[in-house]
Structure 1
Amino acid sequence: MPFRLLIPTLDRRLCRWVPWLAIWALSGCSTVSYYSQLANAQVRLLAAREPVADVVADPARDPGLRQRLELSQEARAFASAELGLPDNQSYRLYADIHRPNVVWNVFATPELSLQPLTHCFPIAGCVAYRGYYGDAGAQAEAKRLKAQGLDVYVGGVEAYSTLGWFDDPILSSMLRWGDQRLAETIFHELAHQKFYLPGDTAFNESYASFVEAEGGRRWRAARHLPDESPLLAQQRKRFTQLVLDTRERLQTLYASPASDAQKRAGKQAEFERLRRDYARLRDQEWGGKAPFDAWVNSPLNNAKLLPFGLYDQWVPAFAALFAQVGGNWPAFYARVEKLGALPPSERTAALEKLKAGGVVSFR
């Protein structure tokens, strides 16, 4: 979309933010500064967008870029036609952001707890991280939190969704991936636009991850394609379970009557166990090769474990829900919406029942 056509869209949509900006202005200079960097960076990103069709049709543009974007549009059309996902301008635009990540998320926990430091936002609700459009800002926040004695982890993010508030572009950072991951990420982010429950990250990400996985399976079947790397998928699953097992043992340790000194020693012992278990798995089952060495061998703390599990905790429950409606996408989305409308305790009980193979009825 040319910049001259973007101005009215920005004016109309940013007007919705004016009441929130007034609230932020009353919340202190640091809050205003934080939201200013978000708003300024988002505006710059939107201004950088251009229609994918124009890039693909331009013989002066890089042939590799044009080819990747052309494939992305096949996945984009498939998302709406076959998966029932929103049919709008999102992911029909492209933006070169000239950096490897679009956002850097800062996670933090107490030293002897896995309870995340949460941040609440007007649209997304409360989440277990704070995002920065630049690595320097994220590292400055991480330094501030570490000075408070918190465990801190900074992770780069290559794509995100504005939940339909803006026409999200395909980012240059996304094109570093293989074709399968690119297509599945489009499905994942559009699923967030279809439904999003403020304040429940595990629900939102598990739901979108199911749509991503099932959509990817159907996408590959339609194109007669195998998985790009079945071994990598298996490695990710096993590695994630190692981390989740470590997190579970740490939860038990932190809830125990042990002294803080004993908990600190136990914490370090658990991280060393994670490294040993990973090395054994890599060397004995994966031929000495796996893509997680850098993560495992860099400093470990509670905050670094937070992202694990959020994206797959309830995936089996959503798979069961999808099966109950016979693979009908509109019916599935309708039931996801009904699940989301339940009070938190009832929603969790329903997800647990689905995950265990039970049937949940909806009025």
Structure 2
Amino acid sequence: MEKRSFLILFPFAAVIVMLLTSCTEIPYMVHCVKGHLQLLSKRQPVEKVLKDPDCSPQLKKQLEVSQRIRDFASNELFLPENGSYRSYADLERPYAVWNIVAAPEFSLIPVQWCFPFAGCVSYRGYYSIEKADHYARKLKGQGKDVYLYGVAAYSTLNWFDDPLLNTFSNDPTPDLAALIFHELSHQLLYVKGDSAFNEAFAKTVEREGVLRWLEKYATEEEKTLHWHRLRREEDFMALIGQTRQELVGLYAADLSDEAKRQRKKELLETLRHRYGELKRSWGDYPGYDRWFEKDLNNARFVSIDTYRRYVPAFETLLRQSGGDLRKFYALSRSIAELPQKDRHLHMEALLETTEEGRSLAAAP
């Protein structure tokens, strides 16, 4: 799977407050506080790192590029201008956090976790793979479908200045730009308790921002490579959407659990077969192979749906704004201020105006 395609960079809104509403959550909250403070303690200003004689040429080059991207984010995309991504931290591990997504065996409605300030989200993050794996096993023991994955970065929603991390600082330039644009978008607009709205908004800004960055700085070859990448991503999303709708239909059917379980297995095997055909049409491009290496289950579909469902709706809103990002942000904010039920009705109506959206909107 391509590293930036679906959110291996999915953000985890760090809960770093000591407002504890449940005794059973105290150990988890303490873990989050300690993990985030340890991350912050490793920050160094980018300028200081660049002057360090021990800074490798590759890291120096990436940090210099990151600062041009950071300037572009505020100057050209009108994203917040602050200290985020003006510092660097080496965590000495491959991911910033590990996220868990879960869903019932016969449902694509995700399990929700609720926290002070961040609201309810459809993922739960850990700074330790061991702790994440322990909790994932607990959920599996309850009969839930579970997806555990590493996350390269997250946003603290402007509570702190988020640093550049070793977990993504060596990414190709379009990927690095996408991450910075995505996370800064969360600082610009975030609706408490609405992951689907928040992630799709950030994904839309990310995609538009990368296109504008490439248009200004990339070669024609780099633009062509990015276009092919977007096409593969859309092909993959269509493939996943097809199976998702089939699963929704199955779960709504009047069948025994055993019959549903068998049919679910068949549908997921069919998905693997369809992917093989799609991969051959790409000339055996292997970028999404990793997505299929782990067990396929409902949580895998939930994780994609959370981040992508409303992207076509936001892209429609951007077109209605004439490509003017300031107008787009204002329209998005006006929708964000609606009660959640009305907000989702508005987004579903926007989805109906696009072919991709009509396909997504057909599945709850």
Scaled by the length of structure 2, the TM-score of the pair is 0.88
Deviations 1:123-145 (A, max 9, x none): 22111111111111111001111
Instruction: Note closer, same or farther for the CA distance 1:82–1:117 as it changes in structure 2 (3 Å cut).
Output: same
1:248 corresponds to 2:242: no
1:111 corresponds to 2:105: yes
Following superposition, the deviation at residue 297 of structure 1 comes to: 3.9
1:151 corresponds to 2:145: yes
Distance 2:246 2:350 in 1: 25
Distance 2:352 2:107 in 1: 28
**1:114, 1:303 within 8 Å by CA — same for their partners in 2?**
yes
Match in the other structure for 1:5: none
Distance 1:160 1:327 in 2: 27
Scaled by the length of structure 1, the TM-score of the pair is 0.88
Counterpart amino acid of 2:40?
L
Deviations 1:1-57 (A, max 9, x none): xxxxxxxxxxxxx9x934x14x3xxx22x4111111110010010111011111123
Match in the other structure for 1:330: 326
1:17 corresponds to 2:11: no
Distance 1:151 1:323 in 2: 37
Determine helix, strand or coil for the equivalent of 2:102.
Answer: strand
Deviations 1:184-211 (A, max 9, x none): 1101110100010111111111111111
Distance 2:332 2:226 in 1: 30
Distance 2:285 2:330 in 1: 43
2:341 aligns with one of 317, 339, 345: 345
Counterpart amino acid of 2:58?
G
Can you give the 5+ residue segments of structure 1 that lack an aligned partner in the other structure?
Answer: 1-13, 359-363
Match in the other structure for 2:187: 193
Determine helix, strand or coil for the equivalent of 2:150.
Answer: strand
- Count residues with an aligned counterpart: 337
Instruction: Note closer, same or farther for the CA distance 1:236–1:329 as it changes in structure 2 (3 Å cut).
Output: closer
Counterpart amino acid of 1:84?
F
1:208 corresponds to 2:202: yes
**1:235, 1:290 within 8 Å by CA — same for their partners in 2?**
no
Distance 2:104 2:351 in 1: 31
Distance 2:25 2:350 in 1: 40
Distance 1:17 1:275 in 2: 43
Match in the other structure for 1:311: 307
Distance 2:228 2:131 in 1: 36
**1:244, 1:308 within 8 Å by CA — same for their partners in 2?**
no
Following superposition, the deviation at residue 97 of structure 1 comes to: 0.7
Determine helix, strand or coil for the equivalent of 1:310.
Answer: helix
Distance 2:293 2:259 in 1: 23
Instruction: Note closer, same or farther for the CA distance 1:233–1:323 as it changes in structure 2 (3 Å cut).
Output: closer
Counterpart amino acid of 1:215?
G
Match in the other structure for 1:235: 232
Distance 1:39 1:166 in 2: 13
Can you give the 5+ residue segments of structure 2 that lack an aligned partner in the other structure?
Answer: 1-13, 355-364
Determine helix, strand or coil for the equivalent of 1:86.
Answer: coil
Give 1:27-176 correspondences, 5 Å limit.
Answer: 27-28=22-23, 30-176=24-170
**2:279, 2:285 within 8 Å by CA — same for their partners in 1?**
yes
Following superposition, the deviation at residue 357 of structure 1 comes to: 4.0
Distance 1:178 1:326 in 2: 30
Deviations 1:200-247 (A, max 9, x none): 111111111111111111111121433344333322221222122212
Distance 2:147 2:215 in 1: 38
Match in the other structure for 1:287: 283
Distance 2:282 2:318 in 1: 33
Instruction: Note closer, same or farther for the CA distance 1:194–1:269 as it changes in structure 2 (3 Å cut).
Output: same
Determine helix, strand or coil for the equivalent of 1:190.
Answer: helix
Distance 2:318 2:207 in 1: 12
Deviations 1:121-178 (A, max 9, x none): 1122111111111111111001111111111110110011001000000111012321
**1:206, 1:313 within 8 Å by CA — same for their partners in 2?**
yes
Instruction: Note closer, same or farther for the CA distance 1:114–1:312 as it changes in structure 2 (3 Å cut).
Output: closer
Determine helix, strand or coil for the equivalent of 2:146.
Answer: strand
Distance 2:99 2:228 in 1: 28
Following superposition, the deviation at residue 270 of structure 1 comes to: 0.6
Determine helix, strand or coil for the equivalent of 1:120.
Answer: strand
Instruction: Note closer, same or farther for the CA distance 1:233–1:330 as it changes in structure 2 (3 Å cut).
Output: closer
Determine helix, strand or coil for the equivalent of 2:169.
Answer: helix
Counterpart amino acid of 2:54?
A
Larger Rg: 1
2:255 aligns with one of 255, 258, 275: 258
Deviates more, 1:228-237 or 1:272-281: 228-237
